[in-house]
Homo-oligomer: A and B are copies of this chain.
Amino acid sequence: MSDLLERLRGRGWRMTAQRRVVAEVLDGEHVHLTADEVHARAVAKLPEISRATVYNTLGELVSLGEVIEVSTDKRAKRYDPNAHRPHQHLVCGQCGAIRDVHPSGNPLADLPDTERFGFTISDVEVTYRGVCPNCAGA
């Protein structure tokens, strides 16, 4: 599991108990946690950890490109540790479940030059919305 910790150490990250805990939380379960959920899980492992530290650490991980911020939900940002394989998200509008999915083509190619208005495009974010089998069945 510690590929993440290894990489961070390799980048000269100063390793602290708090940062380790946050990294472990993210690395442990490949779900999409909100900052507060990360905080809650971190507190379980290290009760003194503060909210600010979790936010700071998450922000640093995002800057380092180790995790991705997603805002599928209109409320809080979520953090996706699966940053090394480009992927998109499939969101259930009822229960809020999120799945990672992998596109067939390159979505960047779908935008013709005439629609780029001189922008230099670096990234595309694609979110499919629908209803998951669970919610549809009920």
Query: Digit string of A94-138 for contact with B (CB within 8 Å is 1, else 0)?
Result: 000001011111011011100111111111111111111100100
Of B108, B128, B131, which is within 8 A of A124 by CB? B128
Q: How far is the CA of A17 from the CA of B121 in the complex (A)?
A: 42
The yes or no answer to A85 lying at the interface (CB within 8 A) is: no
Do A129 and B120 touch (CB < 8 A)? no
- The smallest C-beta distance from A107 to any residue of chain B, in angstroms, reads 6
Do B132 and A119 touch (CB < 8 A)? yes
Taking CB atoms, residues of chain B closer than 8 Å to A128 are: 108, 111, 119, 121, 123-125
A92 touches B (CB below 8 Å): yes
Does A71 reach chain B (CB closer than 8 Å)? yes
Is A90 part of the binding interface, using a Cβ–Cβ cutoff of 8 Å? yes
Partner-B contacts on A (CB < 8 A): 69, 71, 74, 77, 88, 90, 92-93, 99, 101-105, 107-108, 110-112, 115-133, 136
